[in-house]
Amino acid sequence: MYKREFTKFKWTQVLASLVVMVTMMLGMQVMASAEGWVQKADMPTARYGLEAEEVGGKIYAIGGIDTGEKSTVEEYVPATDTWNSKADMPTARWYLATAESNGKIYAMGGRVQGTSALSVVEEYNPTTNAWTTKTNMPTGREHLMAIGVNGKIYAMGGHGTSTLYNKVEEYDPITNTWNTNKAVMMKAVYGAGIVKYNDKIYVIGGSEQWENPTGMVQEYDPMTDTWISKTPMPTARYMLKTKVIGNKIYAIGGYNGSNVRTKIVERYNLDTNNWETLSTSDLPIGLVYFAAAECNNKIYAFAGNDAGGKATYEYTTPETIPSAPINLSATLNASSKADLSWTASEGATSYNVKRATTSGGTYTTIATEVEATTYTDTTVIAGNTYYYVVTAVNIAGESTNSNEASITIPVPQPQDEFTGDHAIITITMTSGLEKEYDLAIADIRDFMDWYNDRASGTGKAYYMVSKNFNVGPFKNRLDYIVFDKIQNFEICDYDR
């Protein structure tokens, strides 16, 4: 009896403890999902030195090494927190670079134990789950950075057996060709972060010598083939990862100057060129040699460090809703349309434009995802008054309304086709005969009204012109112009 009661009591305690633990864990996860890192389903294959790319809401973890080089490709589905095996990459390798372009993933460079850095380029099509070998990179390298912009892929930096590279090589997936005639980087680095924003490329950090990290931020404009330096990252590091959400770059993990694996997350504002350290966003553990991808405004980090790494971490960023736009104005342009302009909101990634026909609304959204701070409403109707507001948007949500701006679209006034007070009208008859009259503009308008009425099937069959010259003994002289006999006419107005 005592034993049963003790056992019952013991299991009751255990169950109660489990409930408390589960509740705490769930609570922690809910808190973490609001901002910070949450551990998700492990990768099936342990590895580090891998890369990852997002295509169509799924993330593909590619290559790497554990006990040997990996050709493994595994697909992670964030929506269901599940993994699927995919077709192996033809060339097993680690310390490679990947880039996405037009829905396909390109794996380039990397390393195989016992060989020099690779120049191999292979294309993966997620739709067909198939790999295709492409033209090799001109320069074989590992720990390079690669990214796709406007249909081209840019391979940058990295190193060979004993050489650090500042080279930039541009790959065209359509022609399967490389262009090496590109401006070199400001500083040769390897193991840097790389992102794109507004068609520009940002190379962040990296090692400028062997295991010598930098915080330098290098901005490259592919359109002008030029580089400029931006505000340095506060913590110099390499083997980090960087991802963009909204107008901000998140720099995650990596080795610091003491070759310590860091947990740090620092955020760069692309609009203000400023950095901040996110003290509440540290990684669960220090990470290097890991992969990262962005999907649906969340960042995912995969494995890394050394043998046995399988972990998957999901990061929710601490974004805040932007402030409402200010200084909204509405002006009439030359085409009688409404031109709107406003002052940008800090943290906004786009704007919504709303319109009403009464002051104060109700407003109807007429444009979304407007990236500029101007908009032209081409759907206005003459004679109406319109009231506009604009809201700012980012991943955290939508701001309150801006100030209201209104505009009345004028009704166009009919323009007089004649500017003189008299005109010479020359009427060519179907017989070839020309009749010419010098008339006041009022009489010309009367003739035009008659002609238009008759052309529409109403009015008299003829028009009567009074000739007030050479009247002689007659009281008046009248010329009758028969509509059906008119071939064409010309009017030349003038001032008498």
Of 180, 160, 50, 47, which Cα lies nearest the Cα of 105?
A: 50
Distance CA 155, CA 107 (A): 11
- pLDDT level of residue 337 (50, 70, 90 thresholds): very high
The total of structural domains in the chain comes to: 3
| Bridge partners for 147 per DSSP | 154
Three-state SS at 448: helix
- Res. 355: pLDDT tops 50: yes
Whether this prediction's pTM lies above 0.75 is answered by: no
Of 41, 40, 61, 2, which Cα lies nearest the Cα of 289?
A: 61
Residue whose pair of structure tokens reads 């043998």 in the numeric block:
307
pLDDT number for residue 413: 66
Residues 92 and 235 in one domain: yes
- Res. 270: pLDDT tops 80: yes
Q: Has residue 380 been placed in a domain?
A: yes
Q: Has residue 16 been placed in a domain?
A: no
Q: Has residue 6 been placed in a domain?
A: no
Q: Has residue 1 been placed in a domain?
A: no
- pLDDT level of residue 2 (50, 70, 90 thresholds): very low
Q: Has residue 305 been placed in a domain?
A: yes
Whole-number mean pLDDT of the chain? 89
- pLDDT level of residue 29 (50, 70, 90 thresholds): very low
Residues 202 and 330 in one domain: no
Q: Has residue 3 been placed in a domain?
A: no
Amino acid letter for position 397: G
pLDDT tens string 457-466: 888 999 999 8
CATH (domain of 336): 2.60.40.10
Q: Has residue 11 been placed in a domain?
A: no
Burial 117-146 (b: 16+ CB within 10 A, else e): bbbbbbbbebeeeebeebeebebbbbbbbb
- Res. 142: pLDDT tops 90: yes
pLDDT tens string 372-416: 999 999 999 988 999 999 999 987 788 889 999 999 998 876 666
pLDDT tens string 102-139: 999 999 999 998 888 999 999 999 999 999 999 999 99
CATH (domain of 208): 2.120.10.80
Ranges of H-type helices in 42-144: none
Residues 340 and 434 in one domain: no
In whole angstroms, how far apart are CA 456 and each of 50, 166, 453?
A: 79, 78, 5
Q: Report which DSSP code applies to 335.
A: T
| 367 or 394, greater pLDDT | 367
Residues 452 and 485 in one domain: yes
pLDDT tens string 149-199: 999 999 999 999 899 999 999 999 999 999 999 999 999 999 999 999 989
Distance CA 295, CA 147 (A): 16
Q: Show the domain range for 456.
A: 422-494
Residues 204 and 253 in one domain: yes
Q: Has residue 71 been placed in a domain?
A: yes
Residues 305 and 453 in one domain: no
pLDDT number for residue 209: 87
Residue 116: enclosing H or E segment and its boundaries? none
- Res. 14: pLDDT tops 70: no
pLDDT number for residue 467: 79
Of 416, 407, 402, 389, which Cα lies nearest the Cα of 333?
A: 407
Task: Kindly state the average pLDDT of the residues 421-437.
Answer: 92
Task: Kindly state the average pLDDT of the residues 66-71.
Answer: 93
